[in-house]
Structure 1
Amino acid sequence: MRKTILFIAMSLDGYISNEYGKVDWINGQNQNVENIDTYSTFIKDIDTVIMGWNTYNQIVTELSPEKWVYPNLISYVITHRELSSTNNIIFTKSNPSVIIENLKKKQGKNIWICGGANIVQQLMQNDLIDEYHISVIPTILGSGTRLFEKNLSEIKLELTNTQSYNGIVELIYKHRSF
């Protein structure tokens, strides 16, 4: 069965972007040290990515304005804007929980929740995230967009893997089965 996986970076104090919506602080403690590439391993088991408008807009305007970074994935962009979809980018007003529930009924690889916080929180409230892959960046932002809000219900997790490199700590959790 397909899994829904949150694969995201956050600051030590729990933010996924700074107060200006930027993510340029996401890097290790030493610019001259190469980070381990866990993304390439992760993405091999993914065929669908879910993101909100802000994440999409940041990708196409700042991070990769020349070409779409996920050409081999079906991308769902949750937005209230009226935009024309393409073969692999689907703009939708649908509830992210409904999208996930429908996708999990179909054959395919895993589903990546790329961002943003609002989508993550909706999926968490409906208990639709199977695994949490969180890279904790050695930075304290003090403000910005929080990954986890206070109004979420308790979710019990089991730590399945951890690794650290260049000050970054990667944590992988799944739902507790006990």
Structure 2
Amino acid sequence: MRKLILWNVITLDGYFEGEKPWDLSFHGLVWGKELEELSLDQLRSADMLVFGAKTYQGMADYWTTAPETEGEVTKYMNSLPKLVCSKTLTKADWKNTNLTKDAVSAVSKLKQEGNGNMFVFGSGNLTGSLMKARLFDEYRLCIAPTYLGKGNRLFSEAIPNQSVKLLETKPLSTGGVVLRYGV
């Protein structure tokens, strides 16, 4: 059975992007060799990526034209199977992408069909839906050492109470901290 894992960089005050879509400037505070290696390890363990519509569009725009300096990450981002969950998109052109209008049903089914990890990156609205359905097996967060004060919070919807267990903490030399929680 596949594991569904949430991966996001968030600020101390819980924002996964600033006031404008794709304002991810705070990611630079934590990015470095350690986080790059963690990102590659996660992609190597993945057999599917799951996105909401906005994150899918942003990721597809970036990774299909990514500079060569992104190397191995680009290879994984473009080659891994992807699922985009959207009630509004009518097509998904990024290589190896399927589209679903019913995220909860599709993800529930896909979890039963494989053995690798499925990662959700970004995708605040989708994350809320999947949390409400209790589909996540693990939450992985990198806390960036900054307060934004406004923007889009990752956990903005009312989510039912769910206990999690701390699996790992990993401080980064950049001042960020990676937290892993199991459900």
Map of 1:83 onto structure 2: 91
When the two structures are superposed, what TM-score results if normalisation uses the length of structure 2?
A: 0.84
Aligned residue type for 2:58: Q
The letter of the residue matching 1:167 is: G
Matches within 5 A, 1:104-119: 104-119=111-126
* Aligned residue in 1 for 2:6: 6
Gaps of 5+ in 1: none
Q: Distance in 1 between matches of 2:165 and 2:114?
A: 26
Q: Specify the SS of the correspondent of 2:79.
A: coil
Give the TM-score, by structure 1 length: 0.87
On the 8 A contact 2:64/2:78 being kept in 1, the answer is no
Q: Confirm whether residue 58 of structure 1 aligns to residue 58 of structure 2.
A: yes
**What's the offset of the Cα at 1:19?**
0.5
- Unaligned stretches of 5+ residues in structure 2: 67-72
Deviations 1:37-76 (CA, angstroms, capped at 9, x unpaired): 2111111111101101111222233x33515941221111
Query: In the alignment, what sits opposite 2:108?
Result: 101
SS at match of 2:41: helix
In structure 2, relative to structure 1, the CA distance for the partners of 1:87 and 1:71 (3 Å cut) is: closer
2-structure distance, mates of 1:121, 1:3: 17
Per the alignment, in what secondary structure is the counterpart of residue 152 of structure 1? coil
Identity %: 26
- Work out the CA distance in 2 between the residues paired with 1:117 and 1:56: 12
* Higher share of residues assigned helix: 2
RMSD: 2.1
Runs in 1 of length 4+ with deviation above 6 angstroms?
none
Alignment CA distance shift 1:85-1:92 (3 Å): farther
